[in-house]
């Protein structure tokens, strides 16, 4: 039988073919297969190799012109300047390559962090493993929200529906079956097969893996999953646009300077070299790459702090977030559920007080243990924490009364192994119910659990110690009262009901139940939630709780962690549905808690905030949350409890599911933006100084202050390190004291331009003062002094650009990279000035001690003035 016909054979034949039993593969066999078949990964399209990246650094118009200039100067006998130009270009290309590789690595590690996992059965036990370890023959459990990570044949399907749009282009969900499909049908018609890259949108299934890695259908469609093309972020795009506009302006200036040089009878080659070097010195080619590098470092830091950025754009938007809509369970709370009290027949019980010989108690336990997909392996819960809390509760009883349980055939293992599940309708957060059908004591029985307000209305009977009787409204009111009491204490409440019935189980059968009881559980708030909520309020960000839980429970928790304050409103999904869009928009600022919401409600909430001009972050974990995550400016998925579907739709994944991590990510996002802005200020103000100095001497008819080599030296070597160091400035507490940034405001505001030009003017003035002092001796001395002063002043200026505050408040040592960059820059300058052998190469004259003192003093002046201005402004 060929692989092509896997859908034609029976499950039994299939299991034989893959030599696997219902217990799954053994660990040893799986390891063997992994060595034989390789990892379950898709090979990426070929990347540029390091030499290719290095060569691509020369594919810049200005660099090409410089290379031509170097060649011309070699032919005209000026070998020294040829060597210097080439040397500087090579060093620059090495730096560029290193930066590219580093940025690429950090993006790769991020991509790895967000790759999906899978649930397999191995050695008879269900466990979660990284998807790369899946091998042909593995039995994989598929649940709503999972991403399918290999091709396989369905062994058992429980209403499984998948979205195969990544393969077939068909966006509607397709139903899958475990029956044999006859014939050689097309991929879309193989209803008993699922394919890598599809998403489980509904139901549950077990599948046997038939192909992994490049053998999968997805792997065969070459290029489809090839490394996602790196797209530029809006900031990079706007900077690119700015750079190219600026480049045109600078080229015009260069043309003017070129003409002036010719007019002054410089040789054509010298004039050209000068104009080109001026262009290199003035055009900020590094802007866009500074953004890439600072963002790459920022995202790496965020990943260390548990926020995995999937979309670089999110780093920019994080700084503008003004509303954070967060789930309650697991994000604001610990998601460590523990059963508290149980309410049956108007009485409260502790778990160990349940009487196993009492039929009502017994059915409640059947419902809690069998109507449950979680499991506990090595004391670790797998699945939904609400569900394994029920198993833990059962284990507590089991430990106390093990012998009675055995007698009553109520041991967990006996129950779960012996009772065969006939049908099921999985839990979904819209219905807020879960139902399964079992054969109990020879009678087909539907067991259902879910939210009290949903299930109680579907109950017509109640089970008591003396049998089953119709339920009165008064009894329902009592149960509602009890639910209210539990909820006011912040407890999560599940209700349990059943019915004996022959009918097929689907959502239309979830009526006419017999009520069994309520189980309450605690899920304490995370310790850091209250502080994170307070921090977000200080940072001008509105935290909002959105939960599927009961309103009273939600408000109790929201009040405890500070999201809900007196005077705020709490709304249920039903109340939200009754509101018009304009009513919602009007009231939204007062609403801090939404309870019993459906995933569709989330979209309306995001849109209403967005219409009010806010940048909204929304968390989500379920399969139906994907549209809301996409709609939000920053969709945030949960790394631990989140479905693969939600992770796929999100811009950021929290690897610890923690609300506090979002706030940390916001601080980091603000920091990245601030650092980029400061690095740009540093580069542009330094370039402005160079341009102003050259323009000044050109217009005054003075000798050219810098040789091309000087300008290349400054711009390509000494400038790049301080700019990077500014990009590494650590985040500080003050970042969360400011209001969110206006998303419509670019970096290059009027204020920014004024600062840039002022600082550029100060540095140019210092350099020109040094130039005039040198000019009293010779033009060579003037040029050397101007060059040294400009370089040193720009190196000092690196400290000014670290933040808006003075260096005394920032602390000189708080960013050690800026100290390294300064030291490296000064050392390079010292080499050029003090090593006589380099004098002719770099066209510098010998400097007497007084001149050195003057250079240091003048270079330091702009920094002193800028620091004084900062101190005055902050006062
Ligand atoms: P959040 O949206 O903050 O994560 P949540 O986890 O409470 O909150 P849902 O998971 O949508 O939201 O749960 C909504 C309600 O459905 C719960 O209050 C509970 O009554 C019920 N419920 C939750 N989990 C299950 C389950 N596994 N089986 C049956 N009912 C459940």
- Domain final residue, candidates 522, 546, 570: 522
Ligand 1 mutation pick, 324, 386, 545, max ligand atoms within 8 A of CB: 386
Structure tokens at 158: 């429980």
For ligand 1, say whether the CB of 384 is within 6 Å of any of its atoms.
Answer: yes
Query: What separation in Å is there between the alpha carbon of 390 and the centre of ligand 1?
Result: 14
Does residue 45 have a pLDDT over 60?
no
Structure tokens at 245: 């506009």
Please answer whether residues 461 and 469 qualify as being in contact, where contact means their C-beta atoms are separated by less than 8 angstroms.
yes
Residue nearest to atom 30 of ligand 1 (CA): 450
For ligand 1, say whether the CB of 114 is within 6 Å of any of its atoms.
Answer: no
Does residue 215 have a pLDDT over 90?
no
Q: 177-186 contacts: CB < 8 A, separation 24 or more?
A: 178/11, 178/154, 178/205, 180/7, 180/8, 180/9, 180/10, 181/7, 181/8, 182/8, 183/8, 184/4, 184/5, 185/7
Give the CA count within 13 Å in the CB-facing half-sphere of 471. Answer: 24
Nearest-angstrom CA–CA distance, 388 and 374: 6
Selected residue with higher pLDDT from 381 and 494: 494
Ligand 1 mutation pick, 432, 457, 490, 646, max ligand atoms within 8 A of CB: 432
Structure tokens at 295: 């963002």
Percent of the chain with pLDDT over 90: 46
Residue nearest to atom 17 of ligand 1 (CA): 549
At 62, the pLDDT band (50, 70, 90 cuts) reads: low
- Domain final residue, candidates 657, 682, 700: 657
Q: Which one, of 146, 113, 166, 138, lies nearest residue 37 by Cα? A: 138
Closest ligand 1 atom to residue 371 Cα is 28
What pLDDT shows up at residue 412?
67
Note the pLDDT tens digit of each residue in 415-452.
Answer: 777 788 888 888 888 889 999 999 988 899 999 999 99
Most confident of 714-723, 727-736, 836-845: 727-736
Q: Does residue 234 fall inside a structural domain?
A: no
Note the pLDDT tens digit of each residue in 359-401.
Answer: 899 899 999 999 998 888 778 888 888 998 999 998 887 766 6
Nearest-angstrom CA–CA distance, 345 and 215: 58
What pLDDT shows up at residue 400?
64
What pLDDT shows up at residue 399?
66
- Domain final residue, candidates 191, 212, 229: 229
Among 327, 384, 648, 719, the active-site one is 327
Closest ligand 1 atom to residue 333 Cα is 3
What pLDDT shows up at residue 44?
62
| pTM of the predicted structure, to 2 decimals | 0.79
Structure tokens at 625: 């949350």
506 and 407 belong to one structural domain: yes
Averaged pLDDT for residues 655-664: 93
At 249, the pLDDT band (50, 70, 90 cuts) reads: confident
Does residue 617 have a pLDDT over 50?
yes
For ligand 1, say whether the CB of 434 is within 6 Å of any of its atoms.
Answer: yes
Q: Does residue 577 fall inside a structural domain?
A: yes
Nearest-angstrom CA–CA distance, 469 and 685: 84
Does residue 72 have a pLDDT over 90?
no
CATH code (residue 571): 3.40.50.1000
For ligand 1, say whether the CB of 328 is within 6 Å of any of its atoms.
Answer: yes
321 and 417 belong to one structural domain: no
Residue nearest to atom 5 of ligand 1 (CA): 548
Does residue 227 have a pLDDT over 50?
no
Residue 163 has phi, psi (to 5 degrees) of -110, 115
Selected residue with higher pLDDT from 844 and 61: 844
Note the pLDDT tens digit of each residue in 757-793.
Answer: 999 999 999 999 999 999 999 989 999 999 999 999 9
Q: Does residue 239 fall inside a structural domain?
A: no
Pick the range with the lowest mean pLDDT from 197-201, 494-498, 560-564. 197-201
What pLDDT shows up at residue 453?
92
For ligand 1, say whether the CB of 215 is within 6 Å of any of its atoms.
Answer: no
Please answer whether residues 113 and 308 qualify as being in contact, where contact means their C-beta atoms are separated by less than 8 angstroms.
yes
Number of domains in the chain: 4
616 and 700 belong to one structural domain: no
Q: Does residue 246 fall inside a structural domain?
A: no
Question: Token match 């009894």: residue?
Answer: 475
Does residue 114 have a pLDDT over 70?
no
What pLDDT shows up at residue 2?
46
What pLDDT shows up at residue 296?
84
| Residue 70, number of CB atoms within 10 A of its CB | 21
Does residue 42 have a pLDDT over 90?
no
What pLDDT shows up at residue 361?
92
710 and 803 belong to one structural domain: yes
Q: Is the dihedral of CA 327, 331, 337, 342 positive or negative?
A: negative
For ligand 1, say whether the CB of 596 is within 6 Å of any of its atoms.
Answer: no
Averaged pLDDT for residues 649-674: 92
Please answer whether residues 457 and 478 qualify as being in contact, where contact means their C-beta atoms are separated by less than 8 angstroms.
no
At 295, the pLDDT band (50, 70, 90 cuts) reads: confident
Measured in whole angstroms, the distance separating CA 385 from the mean position of its chain's CA atoms is: 24
Please answer whether residues 678 and 294 qualify as being in contact, where contact means their C-beta atoms are separated by less than 8 angstroms.
no
Query: What separation in Å is there between the alpha carbon of 427 and the centre of ligand 1?
Result: 8
Does residue 223 have a pLDDT over 60?
no
What pLDDT shows up at residue 228?
39
Nearest-angstrom CA–CA distance, 783 and 791: 12
Does residue 340 have a pLDDT over 90?
yes
For ligand 1, say whether the CB of 594 is within 6 Å of any of its atoms.
Answer: no
Averaged pLDDT for residues 623-649: 87
For ligand 1, say whether the CB of 688 is within 6 Å of any of its atoms.
Answer: no
Query: What separation in Å is there between the alpha carbon of 548 and the centre of ligand 1?
Result: 6
For ligand 1, say whether the CB of 432 is within 6 Å of any of its atoms.
Answer: yes
314 and 402 belong to one structural domain: no
Q: Which residues contact 519 (CB under 8 A, 6 or more apart)?
A: 339, 342, 343, 364, 368, 390, 393, 493, 494, 496
Query: What separation in Å is there between the alpha carbon of 433 and the centre of ligand 1?
Result: 8
154 and 282 belong to one structural domain: no
Query: What separation in Å is there between the alpha carbon of 450 and the centre of ligand 1?
Result: 8
Give the CA count within 13 Å in the CB-facing half-sphere of 136. Answer: 19
51 and 163 belong to one structural domain: yes
Please answer whether residues 531 and 660 qualify as being in contact, where contact means their C-beta atoms are separated by less than 8 angstroms.
yes
Residue 778 has phi, psi (to 5 degrees) of -160, 165
Please answer whether residues 675 and 715 qualify as being in contact, where contact means their C-beta atoms are separated by less than 8 angstroms.
no
174 and 264 belong to one structural domain: no
Note the pLDDT tens digit of each residue in 689-730.
Answer: 998 998 888 778 788 788 877 887 887 667 788 998 999 999
Residue nearest to atom 24 of ligand 1 (CA): 386
Q: Which one, of 362, 341, 361, lies nearest residue 415 by Cα? A: 362
3-state helix, strand, coil in the chain (%, to 5): 55, 20, 30
Q: Does residue 302 fall inside a structural domain?
A: no
551 and 676 belong to one structural domain: no
Residue nearest to atom 25 of ligand 1 (CA): 450
- Which three-class secondary structure string do you get for 2-57? CHHHHHHCCHHHHHHHCCCECCEECHHHHHHHHHHHCCCCCCCCCCCCHHHHHHHC
What pLDDT shows up at residue 38?
87
Q: Which one, of 368, 348, 345, 370, lies nearest residue 467 by Cα? A: 345
Closest ligand 1 atom to residue 493 Cα is 20
- Residue span of the structural domain in which 198 resides: 1-229
Ligand 1 mutation pick, 393, 447, 548, 594, max ligand atoms within 8 A of CB: 548
CATH code (residue 700): 1.20.1110.10
List, edge to edge, every strand of the sheet that includes 616-620: 307-309, 652-654, 634-638, 616-620, 323-327, 542-546, 591-595, 569-572
Averaged pLDDT for residues 178-195: 87
Beta strands in 109-184 (DSSP E): 117-122, 125-130, 139-143, 151-163, 174-175
Ligand 1 mutation pick, 451, 491, 573, 596, max ligand atoms within 8 A of CB: 451
Q: Which residues contact 413 (CB under 8 A, 6 or more apart)?
A: none
Nearest-angstrom CA–CA distance, 633 and 320: 10
Residue nearest to atom 22 of ligand 1 (CA): 450
For ligand 1, say whether the CB of 798 is within 6 Å of any of its atoms.
Answer: no
User: In which element (H, E) is residue 438 found?
Assistant: strand 433-440
At 409, the pLDDT band (50, 70, 90 cuts) reads: low
Most confident of 152-156, 291-295, 354-358, 871-875: 152-156
For ligand 1, say whether the CB of 449 is within 6 Å of any of its atoms.
Answer: yes
Residue nearest to atom 20 of ligand 1 (CA): 451
For ligand 1, say whether the CB of 390 is within 6 Å of any of its atoms.
Answer: no
Nearest-angstrom CA–CA distance, 30 and 35: 9
The three-state secondary structure class of 583 is helix
Structure tokens at 107: 């993006």
Query: What separation in Å is there between the alpha carbon of 201 and the centre of ligand 1?
Result: 18
What average pLDDT does the chain have? 87
Q: Does residue 815 fall inside a structural domain?
A: yes
The three-state secondary structure class of 205 is strand
Q: Which one, of 298, 320, 289, 306, lies nearest residue 107 by Cα? A: 298
Does residue 224 have a pLDDT over 60?
no
478 and 613 belong to one structural domain: no
Note the pLDDT tens digit of each residue in 545-557.
Answer: 999 899 999 999 9
Structure tokens at 511: 């009526």
What pLDDT shows up at residue 113?
67
Structure tokens at 410: 């109520």
Nearest-angstrom CA–CA distance, 622 and 597: 13
For ligand 1, say whether the CB of 451 is within 6 Å of any of its atoms.
Answer: yes
Ligand 1 mutation pick, 384, 487, 494, 552, max ligand atoms within 8 A of CB: 494
For ligand 1, say whether the CB of 494 is within 6 Å of any of its atoms.
Answer: yes
617 and 685 belong to one structural domain: no
645 and 714 belong to one structural domain: no
Is 327 an active-site residue? yes
CATH code (residue 219): 2.70.150.10
| Residue 461, number of CB atoms within 10 A of its CB | 17
Note the pLDDT tens digit of each residue in 78-111.
Answer: 777 788 778 877 877 887 788 778 777 776 776 6
Query: What separation in Å is there between the alpha carbon of 701 and the centre of ligand 1?
Result: 79
At 225, the pLDDT band (50, 70, 90 cuts) reads: very low
Q: Which residues contact 744 (CB under 8 A, 6 or more apart)?
A: none
Q: Does residue 212 fall inside a structural domain?
A: yes
Q: Does residue 250 fall inside a structural domain?
A: no
């Amino acid at each position: 039988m060929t692989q092509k016909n896997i859908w034609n054979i029976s499950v039994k034949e299939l299991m034989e073919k893959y030599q696997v039993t219902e217990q799954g593969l053994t660990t040893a066999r799986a390891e063997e297969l992994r060595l034989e078949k390789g990892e379950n990964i898709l090979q990426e399209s070929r990347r540029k190799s390091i030499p290719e990246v290095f060569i691509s650094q020369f594919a810049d118009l200005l660099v090409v012109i410089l290379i031509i200039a170097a060649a011309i100067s070699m032919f005209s006998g000026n070998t020294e300047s040829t060597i210097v130009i080439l040397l500087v270009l090579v060093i620059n290309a090495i730096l560029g390559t290193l930066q590219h590789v580093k940025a690429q690595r950090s993006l790769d590690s991020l991509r790895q962090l967000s790759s999906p996992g899978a649930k397999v059965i191995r050695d008879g036990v269900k466990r979660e493993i990284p998807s790369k370890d899946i091998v042909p023959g593995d039995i994989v459990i598929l649940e709503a929200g999972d991403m399918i990570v290999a091709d396989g044949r369905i062994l058992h399907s429980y209403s499984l529906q998948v979205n195969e749009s990544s393969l077939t282009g068909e966006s509607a969900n397709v139903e899958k079956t475990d029956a044999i499909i006859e014939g050689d049908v097309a991929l879309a018609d193989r209803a008993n097969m699922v394919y890598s890259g599809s998403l489980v949108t509904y139901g549950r299934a077990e599948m046997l893996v038939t192909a992994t890695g490049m053998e999968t259908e997805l792997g065969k469609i070459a290029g489809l999953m090839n490394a996602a093309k790196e797209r530029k972020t809006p900031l990079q795009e706007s900077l690119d646009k700015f750079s190219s506009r600026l480049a045109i302006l600078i080229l015009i200036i260069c043309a003017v300077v070129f003409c002036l040089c010719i007019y002054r009878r410089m040789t054509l080659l010298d004039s050209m070299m000068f104009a080109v070097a001026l262009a290199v010195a003035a055009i900020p080619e590094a802007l866009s790459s500074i953004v890439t590098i600072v963002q790459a470092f920022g995202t790496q830091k965020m990943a260390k702090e548990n926020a995995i950025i999937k979309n670089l754009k999110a780093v920019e938007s994080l700084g503008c977030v003004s509303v954070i809509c967060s789930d309650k369970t697991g994000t604001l709370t610990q998601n460590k559920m523990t059963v508290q009290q149980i309410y049956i027949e108007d009485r409260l019980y502790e778990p160990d007080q349940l009487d196993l010989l009492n039929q009502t108690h017994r059915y409640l336990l059947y419902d809690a243990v069998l109507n449950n997909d979680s499991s506990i392996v090595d004391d670790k819960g797998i699945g939904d924490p609400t569900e394994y809390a029920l198993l833990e509760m059962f284990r507590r009883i089991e430990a106390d009364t093990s012998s009675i349980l055995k007698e009553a055939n109520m041991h967990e293992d006996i129950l779960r192994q012996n009772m065969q599940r006939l049908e099921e309708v999985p839990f979904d957060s819209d219905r807020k119910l879960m139902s399964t059908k079992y054969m109990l004591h020879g009678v087909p029985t539907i067991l259902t659990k879910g939210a009290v307000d949903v299930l109680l209305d579907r109950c017509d009977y109640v089970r008591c110690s003396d049998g089953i009787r119709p339920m009165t409204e008064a009894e329902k009111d009592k149960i509602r009262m009890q639910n209210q009491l539990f909820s006011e204490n912040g407890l999560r409440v599940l209700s349990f009901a059943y019915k004996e019935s022959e009918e097929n189980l689907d959502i239309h059968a979830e009526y006419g139940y017999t009520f069994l009881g309520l189980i309450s559980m605690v899920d304490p708030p995370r310790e850091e939630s209250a502080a994170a909520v307070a921090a977000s309020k200080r940072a001008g960000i509105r935290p909002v709780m959105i939960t599927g839980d009961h309103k009273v429970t939600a408000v109790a928790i929201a009040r405890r962690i500070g999201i809900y304050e007196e005077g705020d409103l709490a709304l249920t999904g039903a109340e939200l549905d009754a509101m018009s869009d304009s009513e919602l928009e009007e009231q939204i600022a007062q609403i801090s808690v939404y309870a019993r919401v459906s995933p569709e409600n989330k979209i309306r909430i995001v849109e209403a905030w967005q219409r009010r001009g806010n940048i909204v972050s929304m968390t989500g974990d379920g399969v139906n949350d994907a549209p809301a995550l996409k709609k939000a400016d920053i969709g945030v998925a949960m790394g631990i409890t989140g479905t693969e579907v939600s992770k796929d739709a999100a811009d950021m994944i929290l690897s610890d599911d923690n609300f506090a991590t979002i706030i940390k990510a916001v601080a980091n996002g603000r920091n990245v933006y601030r650092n980029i802005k400061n690095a740009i200020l540093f580069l542009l103000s330094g370039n402005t100084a160079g341009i102003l100095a050259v323009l000044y001497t050109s217009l005054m008819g003075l000798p050219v202050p810098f040789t091309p080599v000087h300008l290349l030296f400054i711009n390509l070597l000494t400038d790049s390190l301080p700019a990077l160091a500014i990009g590494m400035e650590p985040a500080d507490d003050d970042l969360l004291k400011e209001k969110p940034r206006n998303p419509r405001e670019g970096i290059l505001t009027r204020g920014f331009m004024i600062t840039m030009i002022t600082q550029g003017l100060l540095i140019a003035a210092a350099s020109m003062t040094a130039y005039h002092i040198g000019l009293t001796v010779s033009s060579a001395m003037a040029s050397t002094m101007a060059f040294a002063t400009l370089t040193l002043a720009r190196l000092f200026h690196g400290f000014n650009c670290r933040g808006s505050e003075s260096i005394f408040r920032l602390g000189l040592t708080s960013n050690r990279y800026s100290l390294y960059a300064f030291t490296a820059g000064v050392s390079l300058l010292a080499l050029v000035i003090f090593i006589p052998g380099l004098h002719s190469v770099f066209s510098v004259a010998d400097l007497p001690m007084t001149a050195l003192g003057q250079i240091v003093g003048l270079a330091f002046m702009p920094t002193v003035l800028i620091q004084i201005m900062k101190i005055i402004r902050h006062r």
